[in-house]
Structure 1
Amino acid sequence: MIKKLLASLGLSLLLASGAHAIPVTVSMTADNIINDGGLCYDSSCTFGTGWGAYGSLTNANNWPTADSLVLDLGVGTHYFAWNVVNLGSGSGGNPAALLAEIMWGDQVHSSSSAWEIYDFTTGAFVSNATEYGTNGTNIWGGPIAGISTHASWIYTDNNFVDADQSAWIRTSITIADVPEPAPLALLCLGLLFLAAARRRIQH
């Protein structure tokens, strides 16, 4: 009976060590507003959801203040989308931009030209985003608190010409299967219990 209990406990601890979610913090703001978007269901990002619940993202006067939320995500690749809307008449003197940052563990993924402009209806890639200066510069009245100074304000390459009225922007992160300290301790404990159970069975 003791042998079975030891083996069962060891297996349970091993399983527990591999099943954990990782907190991912998304911080963001836009000039003028983030109208829609969120965590996508697939790489096309045509069904993102999550940003709509954040009130200041829909207030044109609150863009100098970053909003943030925490998502518990598992190992794998995750896609994110933002619909940035330029309020007022679009022109070179009335540009728009997104500033955002995704953080998990010791990893940081900041808005840059590596982020994509895409067609929301089809999910098709349109172009890479265009950078207009980092959060550490004074281009949009920065820096915005709560977002790294390395993050760039991004939008379309048409921003200072006809100033696109809206743009869908997406990016992705990949979370590697690296055990956190607590699950790693459970893994070691589980191995010890299994080893003890094996010794009892052999004797």
Structure 2
Amino acid sequence: MIPLNDILIFALSALVLVISPGPNMIYLISRSIMQGRKAGLISLAGVVFGFMFHIVMVSFGLTAVLFAVPFAYTTLKSLGVIYLLYLAYQAIKPNSKNIFETKKNLPYDKPGKLFSTGFLTNVLNPKVAVFYLSFFPQFIKTEYGSIMTQSLQLGAVQVLVSFTINFIIVLTASRVALFFAKKPSWVKVQKWFMASVLTGLAIKMALSKAK
């Protein structure tokens, strides 16, 4: 089992990553604002099941790769650094939009469509798989036991953090959108803060040593 201290550090990292804009968050915000909280929560359920799909796949993959390929850790770490720097750039790139500026006139979807779209939005998002494959190995050590068990443990933490933050976002999407509309300067502050944190995580990952 992974020590509590490492779990807390991972949870903090997962928190920073989940609040960085991406397809899942944009879809949930759009649905919550345009179709209401119930639609947002149903969509969130689909997103969570999508995370579970990725976790199971990646857990089997890490177990195979980390034992079979000696330099796998360095390769995955490099992917993680590139991924974090990409997210940092996306946060501050010219003409980047506020994630609370949702699409207008979205069709009214039924519960089944909301769930399946949330699920597929997550499952078909390659960034999620890249995050798991590149970030999980930074917290896994062979002396802690089964790599698969550790992967599932980290996955459970990530899902809990993601669900909690996205649940809050669904419940408050309309009010947050109104706040940013009235105070546009805060959008720029939020973007640069996020970019700074993501860059810091990338540097920390780049300097970490193989387990």
The alignment's TM-score, normalised by the length of structure 2, stands at: 0.22
Structure in which a larger fraction of residues adopt helix: 2
Q: Which has the higher strand share?
A: 1
Q: Which has the larger radius of gyration?
A: 1
* Structure 1 length-normalised TM: 0.23
